[in-house]
Amino acid sequence: MTQTSQKKRHWPRWAWPLGLLAAGAGGAAIFLFRGCRHSKMGWPIREGDHSYQVCLGCGIKRLFNEETFRAYGPYGYDVKELVARERAMRMQQRHKPTR
């Protein structure tokens, strides 16, 4: 055997934790850019005259229609803000002039 084949190149011991750190940082960056997909929504919760669902992964809420049994509207963390936004949209649709 020659000397070059006997001397196999090895990485230093300190390089392994750096690789692990880089892989973890890459995974965190992908999660931050992609975010939660809201694929696991809880059962509808009734509050006053409105219902909403909560994402079990991140806690974000979305209004829920009990008649059609479907979620609708944008996602948000404050239910009162979502209800106010829905009422504003209804008022705009009601006062929209017909041509």
**Between 2 and 75, where is the model more confident?**
75
**Token digits for 24?**
């973890």
Residue 37 scores a pLDDT above 90: no
The answer to whether 96 and 72 are in contact (CB under 8 A) is no
DSSP type of residue 41: B
Q: How far apart are CA 80 and CA 59, in angstroms?
A: 15
The answer to whether 74 and 82 are in contact (CB under 8 A) is yes
What is the count of structural domains for the chain? 2
Instruction: Kindly report the pTM of this predicted structure.
Output: 0.61
Average pLDDT, the chain: 83
Q: Is residue 99 part of a domain?
A: no
Shared domain check, 58 and 88: yes
Shared domain check, 64 and 85: yes
Q: Taking Cα atoms as reference points, which of 71, 73, 70 lies closest to residue 81?
A: 73
pLDDT for 52: 97
* Structure confidence by residue, pLDDT tens digits, 38-74: 889 999 999 999 999 999 988 999 999 999 999 999 9
pLDDT for 64: 97
The answer to whether 33 and 26 are in contact (CB under 8 A) is no
pLDDT above 70 coverage of the chain, percent: 78
Domain that holds residue 80: 45-94
Under the banding of pLDDT at 50, 70 and 90, the label for residue 98 is low
Q: Residue range 16-35: average pLDDT?
A: 71
